[in-house]
Amino acid sequence: MIPDLGYIALGFAFGTAVYAAVAAWYGHRTDQPRWVESARNATIITLPLVALACFLLIVSLLRSDFSVEYVWRVSSRGMPDYLKVTALWGGQAGSLLFWNFLLAVFTAAAMMRNWRRQRELMAYAIMVASFTQIFFLGLSLFIENPFTRLAFVPPDGNGLNPLLRHPGMIIHPPMLYLGFVGFTIPYAFGMAALMSGKLDDTWIRLTRRWTLVAWLFLSLGLILGGRWAYDVLGWGGYWAWDPVENASFMPWLAGTAFLHSVMIQEKRDMFKMWNMSLIVLTYCLVISGTFIVRSGVISSVHSFAQSAIGPLFFGFIAIMFVFSVYWLSKRHEALKSENHLNSFLSREAAFLYNNFLILAILAVVFLFTYYPIFSELITGEKGFVGPPVYEQATGPLFGVLVLLMGVAPLTMWYRTSAQRIGMGVRWPALAALIFIGVLIVLGIRDWRALLGLWIVSFAAILTLLEFWKGTRGRMKAKGEPPWTAFATLMGRNRRRYGGYWIHMGVIVMAFGIIGMELFQEQTQIRLTVGDTLSLGRYEMQFLGATRFPGPDDLLITQATVDVYDNGRYVGQYYPRTELYTRTNQPMTIPDARSTISEDFYILMINWEPTSSDQATFRVYLNPLVNWVWAGGIIFVIGTLIAAWPDRKEELVTVSRPHQTVLAGGD
C-alpha cells in the first residue's frame, strides 16, 4: 500500500513537472502571464509530491518492507534505524529519487525567492529547470523506480553496502548532490537570459548566491568525501583521482572559474559570452558527473551504483549541450562587450589568468578521467591513468594558481603598474624565502617541497596582509578597535573578505597536501604479540587482537596497540578489520594518533590471514594531514561569509523592484 502511494506520488510529480514546462512555454508564447504563474505553481507543487515519495520510501525502509525490490537490495532487518533512513541514497534508484527531491527543493526555492524580481526570465527559467526535472523524474519513474515490487517477499534484505555505513557517508552524498543539483539554478537563469535576449548581468546577480550555495555544498561534499576515504577506505590517503572523485571535482573547478569571472562582468561588463559558456560547462559537467557516478561507465570503487541508464544520460547531455550551444551562438553578437582589457596587469586580467589555469587543470583531469573510454573505443584495450600522472600534470598548474591567488588581490581594475605589484610582493617574497631558509636548515632538501612551500607561504603572507590592510584602514578611518574593525570589515564586504577566507582555507589545505604528497612515509610488517615496529619518531607495540560480533552481520577483529612518540607513551589504539558476513565484504578501519603536525595512522591489514597472536600492520606517517581538514573548515566558513543572505539587499530589492540592478553591492 505505502509503496503504491509512493509510486503514485512520483507519477504525479512527473505530471506536474511536464505541466510546468508546457504551461510556461504556452504562457510565454501566447503572452498570458497567468499561464506562467500556473507553471510556477506547478514547479512549487512538484516539491511536496517528490518529498512525499521520498518519505514513503523511507517508511518502507524503516518497516523493512522487502516486497519492494529497492528496500530488499539496500537494507536488512538488523540495520539500525538511522542507516535505514540513509539507505535512501544507498543505491541507484533511491539516490535518483533523492536527487529529484533536492532538485525540486532548489527549483521551488528559486521560484519563491526570485519570482518578483525578474518576470521576463521566469518563463524560460521554469522551462529549463523543469526539463531537467522531467528527465530525472522520468528516470525515476520509468527506468529506476524505487517502488518496484518483487514477485515474492524475501525474509531479509541484502543490507547496506558496508562502505556506506560510516557516519561520514551519511552526509557526504547529500552534500555532493546538493552541490550538483544547485548548479541547475544558475544554469536555468543563464539560459533564460540567453533565450529571452535579456543579456545584461541580471541573471548573474540573481543567481550569484545560488551559485555560491551550490559551490559551498560541492566543496563540502568533496571535503567530507576525502575525510570518509581517509577514515574508511584504509589506504592512508584522502584523494586518489578516482573517476568518481574527478566527476565531482570537475564541476567544482568549472564553478570556481565561473565565480571568479562573473566579477569581471559585474565590474567591467566584459566576458558575457565567456560566463555563459562557463555556466553551461558547469551544468554539463554536473550532469555527466551524475552520469559517471550512476552508470559506472568508468569503473571505480564507487561502482556499486552501476546500471544501464548510461545511454539515456548520454542523450540528455547531448540535448542540453546542443541546446546551450545553439543559444550561445544565436546570441553571439549581442554578448559582445564594448569594453576592453586595458592592461595585462589588472584585476580583470588576473581573473582571466585564473580562468585559464583552472580550465587547464579541468582539461587535464577531463582527459585523464575519460581516457579509459577513449582508449577502449579506439584501441579496444581499456587504458588507465593513475594518480602519479595526475599529480605530475596538475601539480605545477596548482602551484601557479596559488601564486596567482596571493598576488591577484594586489591588482586593481583597469590597470596596475608593475612597480606597485613589485612593492607589494617584495617583502612577503623575502619573508617566505627566509621561511624556506629555515626549512633548509631543518633538513628539508626536496626542491619540489621547497618551491611549493615557498609559493604557499608567500600566498599566505599576502592574503593575511589583505586582512591587515583592510582592518587597519577601518581602524584609522573610524577609530575602531582592531576586533571591531576586523568584524565590520567582514560584515561590510563579505564577498571580498569571504573570498580571502576561502583563499586562506585553500592555502592551509595546500600546506597539508604538500606534506602528504611529498613526506608521507609508510611501512608494513607482520607482528607477533609483544613485537614492536617503528616509523619516524613513533613506535608501536602489538598487544593482541580479539574477534567479536558487531551489529547486524558484522564480525569485528580488533587489535590493541600501544603507541610511543619519541619513547613517550601516548596511548592505546584500536585498528580493526570488519567483515560483513552476509556479503563477505571486508573493511579495514584505521585508528590514528592525531596531532597538528602529523597522523600516525595504523591499519591492521586483513588481506593476510591473521591468527590471534599474529597480525600484519601497515602504518603511515601522514605529515600535516590535519591541515587539510582545518583548511577545509576555514574554506567552508569563508564560503558561508560570502554567501550569507544580505538583509539589506533584500529590503532594497523588495521595496524598489525596478532598481534591482543597483541593489547588489560588490
Partner 1 sequence: MKDRLRITDYGLPITDYRLRITFCGLLLTLLFFTAGVVVAQTGEVTDDEVNAVAKDLFCPVCESTPLDVCPTKACADWRELIRTQLAEGKTRTEIHDYFARQYGDGVLADPPKRGFSLILWALPVIGVAIGGVLFVRYVRNLRREGDVVAATAVVPANPSPASAASVPQPATPLEASGDYVSRVEEELLARK
Per-residue binding letters, 392-411, with partner 1 (x by CB under 8 A): -x----------------x-
Q: Does 606 bind partner 1 (CB under 8 A)?
A: yes
User: Candidates 81-89, 385-393, 503-511, 628-636 — which segment interacts with partner 1 by CB under 8 A?
Assistant: 385-393
Cβ nearer to partner 1, comparing 139 with 254: 254
Q: Does 300 bind partner 1 (CB under 8 A)?
A: yes
Nearest distance, CB of residue 557 and partner 1, angstroms: 13
How many residues touch partner 1 (CB under 8 A)? 82
> For residue 535, which of 617, 419, 437 has the smallest C-alpha distance?
617
Secondary structure of 567-581 as H, E, C letters: CEEEEEECCEEEEEC
Nearest distance, CB of residue 269 and partner 1, angstroms: 4
Cβ nearer to partner 1, comparing 129 with 554: 554
Per-residue binding letters, 97-136, with partner 1 (x by CB under 8 A): ----------------------------------------
Q: Does 382 bind partner 1 (CB under 8 A)?
A: yes
Per-residue binding letters, 197-216, with partner 1 (x by CB under 8 A): ---xx---------------
Nearest distance, CB of residue 293 and partner 1, angstroms: 13
Cα distance from N-terminal residue to C-terminal residue, the chain: 54
> For residue 111, which of 45, 188, 44, 47 has the smallest C-alpha distance?
44
Q: Does 519 bind partner 1 (CB under 8 A)?
A: no
Q: Does 467 bind partner 1 (CB under 8 A)?
A: no
Helices (H), 239-386: 243-268, 272-295, 310-330, 347-379
Cα separation, 195 vs 327, in Å, equals: 7
Kindly provide the b/e burial profile for residues 562-579, where b requires at least 16 CB atoms within 10 angstroms of the residue's own CB.
ebbbeeeeeeebbbbbbb
Please count the other Cβ atoms lying within 10 Å of the Cβ belonging to residue 308: 10
- Secondary structure letter of residue 414 according to DSSP: S
Nearest distance, CB of residue 337 and partner 1, angstroms: 8
Cβ nearer to partner 1, comparing 523 with 583: 523
Q: Does 523 bind partner 1 (CB under 8 A)?
A: yes
Nearest distance, CB of residue 467 and partner 1, angstroms: 11
Backbone angles phi, psi at 524, to 5 degrees: -135, 135
Nearest distance, CB of residue 618 and partner 1, angstroms: 8
Residues 6+ apart with CB under 8 A from 440: 450
Cβ nearer to partner 1, comparing 182 with 470: 470
Residues 6+ apart with CB under 8 A from 379: none
Secondary structure of 101-112 as H, E, C letters: HHHHHHHHHHHH
Binder among 268, 294, 494, 593 for partner 1 (CB under 8 A): 268
DSSP H or E segment with residue 6: helix 2-29
Q: Does 338 bind partner 1 (CB under 8 A)?
A: yes
Q: Does 81 bind partner 1 (CB under 8 A)?
A: no
The C-alpha angle with vertex 248 and arms to 209 and 183, in degrees rounded to 5, equals 30
Cβ nearer to partner 1, comparing 527 with 561: 527
Q: Does 149 bind partner 1 (CB under 8 A)?
A: no
Cα separation, 367 vs 385, in Å, equals: 10
Q: Does 356 bind partner 1 (CB under 8 A)?
A: yes
Per-residue binding letters, 407-436, with partner 1 (x by CB under 8 A): ---x-xxxxxx--x---x------------
Q: Does 556 bind partner 1 (CB under 8 A)?
A: no
Cα separation, 400 vs 617, in Å, equals: 39
Cα separation, 614 vs 43, in Å, equals: 61
User: Candidates 218-226, 308-316, 367-375, 554-562 — which segment interacts with partner 1 by CB under 8 A?
Assistant: 367-375
Cα separation, 261 vs 257, in Å, equals: 6
Nearest distance, CB of residue 511 and partner 1, angstroms: 24
